[in-house]
Amino acid sequence: MRVKAAVLRQMGLPLPYVQSQPIAIEEVELAPPAQGEVLLRIHAAGLCHSDLSAINGDRPWPMPIVIGHEAAAEVVELGEGVTDLAVGDHVVLIFRPSCGACASCSVGRPALCGPGGEANAAGTLLGGYRRLAAVNGVGIDGRAGGALHHHLGCAAFAEYATVSRRSVVRIDPALPWDEAALFGCAVITGAGAVYNT
């Protein structure tokens, strides 16, 4: 399906960004969810300092990339094998998916998941997959229609996102979307600092 998304093609452009315009809203091709993945309709997304760090180049990421990771969404389609969520569920995206099987995950330290960290650094979903492709611009291979990277496994500055099931947490549907979005990064980062130090 074709959706609009915020694509960052070059980090470190000069300030002010209103002039250098490092982000462009582009039409991108979003693949449906494969096994263990979900398709989400993004209802709210927060601008986090991690997003700004990608834009200004302080935290390098592979380019081009659809940014955004702090978001609240609605499940609209389930990939094969996803049985613990339902279409219509409200979820928040989390920036560090955990595989559930590596050494860190098996001892109760999912925030240190090796495969999750590797996927984030590579700009892929957990498992090494990309579900985004350029429509009018060039992708990671320099060709028109090529694949785009996912920021922190989420690529949440978009109308819709396909993500790993391990990148979402179901929430109470009574929670407003804009408030729920903060739980995906700001709240879990603060809670993690308290509980893990």
Q: Is the pLDDT score of 162 beyond 90? A: yes
Q: Is the pLDDT score of 148 beyond 90? A: yes
* Run of H or E residues at 105: helix 103-106
Domain count, the chain: 1
Q: Report the candidate in 2, 11, 180 with the shortest Cα–Cα distance to residue 92.
A: 180
Taking only the tens place, the pLDDT of each residue in 68-118 is 999 999 999 999 999 999 999 999 999 889 999 999 999 999 889 999 999
List the domain range (segments joined by +) for residue 20: 2-195
Mean pLDDT (whole number) for 53-63: 93
The CATH number for 40's domain is 3.90.180.10
CA angle 126, 110, 58 (to 5 degrees): 65
Q: Report the candidate in 39, 46, 53, 43 with the shortest Cα–Cα distance to residue 70.
A: 46
